[in-house]
């Protein structure tokens, strides 16, 4: 989307003042000392493409500046060792309210205030200082943090409390990855869906409910029909992903977690429309290629539109109605 060229890019912190070696295409300056990089490479869901993409992703690398010599480094990522997934209840607890105020000092030091936030930072630091002097104040704010986790933060996990209405029962993200002082959207994304791209890069549409505002459940089969020419209008690609009640992939025998541009075996209807299905029980044979397996319990659906066209960006494109087909 940005017209950048293949090559070497230097990621630095906000206060870095070193020399840029010859051969570096561009310097990317992070606004904080903590940065996260998530490379993505588009691949069709075919065996041929899985093989063809290997030499491409082998050229995606990150290493310290001191190791830069102007020569491309490659890594055969397919040869990395594998490790069993850690056992857990399925949800990562990013914030522990009991430790929140103990950790807040380091966060304030690491993340500088945005213009206009200086007074907020000063007030919070004053509160932390008071809590250090008085155990009763410390206990009080910890109790407030624990209660807030239950009564406020927990509800941000629901998609209806994230972003803004996008039509037909879906919500969409706003200000993702460029929050400014939109603390509500930032909190919602941190609670429900880490690592968004910027709006001009990706738009996200999500829902827990069908078109009748009823919670999606694997006990039912649902249809999601895009009219002819009404799949998400993108210059990149789009996908419809199914998540379980923890907003994680649902393990299934097909190892199928999303459908979209990458799938070359999707069957279209006679009128050119595209109907995708979601549910726990297998649909009829003619619908299998268009089916997203769901858990027996509750689940949610999520549309990603990468490099959206104007109708995505201005909100004129609407996600389709989700209809319950059968019990």
Per DSSP, the three-state class of 34 is: coil
Task: Domains for the chain: give ranges and CATH numbers.
Answer: 8-79 (no CATH), 97-151 (no CATH), 159-326 (2.60.120.600)
Phi, psi of 155 (to 5 degrees): -70, -15
3-state secondary structure of 13: coil
pLDDT tens over the chain, length 327 residues: 888 899 999 999 999 999 999 999 999 999 888 888 888 888 999 999 999 999 999 999 999 999 999 999 999 988 888 888 777 666 777 889 999 999 999 999 988 898 999 999 999 999 999 999 999 999 999 999 999 999 999 999 999 999 999 999 999 998 888 888 899 999 999 898 888 899 999 999 999 999 999 999 999 999 999 999 999 999 999 999 999 999 999 999 999 999 999 999 999 999 999 999 999 999 999 999 999 999 999 999 999 999 999 999 999 999 999 999 975
Partners of 291 in the beta sheet?
277
List phi, psi (to 5°) of 51: -80, -40
Q: What angle do CA 226, 173, 245 make, to 5 degrees?
A: 80
User: End-to-end distance of the chain based on CA atoms, in angstroms?
Assistant: 43
Q: Do 308 and 234 touch, CB atoms closer than 8 A?
A: yes
> What is the per-residue pLDDT for 20?
97
d(CA 190, CA 186): 6
Q: What is the pLDDT of residue 89?
A: 67
Rounded to 10 degrees, what is the CA torsion of 249, 278, 296, 44? -30
Tell me how crowded residue 166 is: count the other CB atoms within 10 A of its CB.
21
């Amino acid at each position: 989307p940005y017209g950048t060229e293949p090559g070497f890019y230097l990621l630095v912190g906000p206060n870095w003042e070193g020399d840029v070696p010859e051969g570096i295409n561009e310097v990317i300056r992070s606004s904080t000392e903590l940065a996260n990089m998530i490379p993505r490479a588009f691949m069709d869901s075919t065996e041929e493409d899985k093989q063809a993409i290997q030499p491409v992703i082998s050229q995606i690398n990150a290493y310290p500046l001191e190791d830069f010599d102007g020569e491309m480094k490659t890594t055969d990522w397919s040869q990395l060792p594998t490790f069993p997934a850690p056992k857990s209840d399925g949800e990562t607890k990013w914030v522990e309210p009991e430790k929140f105020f103990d950790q807040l000092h380091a966060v304030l030091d690491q993340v500088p205030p945005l213009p206009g936030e200086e007074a907020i930072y000063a007030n919070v630091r004053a509160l932390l200082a008071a809590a250090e002097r008085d155990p009763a104040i410390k206990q009080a704010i910890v109790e407030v943090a624990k209660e807030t986790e239950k009564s406020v933060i927990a509800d941000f996990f629901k998609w209806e409390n994230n972003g803004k209405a996008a039509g037909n029962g879906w919500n969409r993200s706003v200000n993702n990855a460029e929050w400014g002082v939109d603390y509500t959207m930032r909190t919602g994304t941190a609670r429900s869906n880490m690592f968004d791209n910027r709006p001009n890069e990706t738009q996200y549409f999500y829902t827990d409910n069908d078109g009748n505002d009823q919670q999606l459940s694997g006990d039912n089969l649902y249809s999601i029909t895009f009219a002819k020419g009404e799949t998400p209008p993108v210059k990149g690609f789009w996908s419809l992903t199914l998540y379980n009640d923890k907003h994680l992939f649902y393990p299934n025998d097909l190892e199928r977690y999303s459908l979209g541009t990458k799938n070359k075996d999707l069957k279209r209807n006679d009128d050119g429309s595209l109907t995708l299905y979601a549910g726990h029980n297998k649909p009829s044979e003619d619908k299998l290629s268009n089916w997203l397996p769901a858990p027996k319990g509750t689940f949610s659906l999520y549309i990603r539109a990468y490099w959206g066209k104007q109708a995505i960006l201005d909100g004129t494109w609407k996600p389709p109605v989700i209809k319950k087909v059968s019990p």
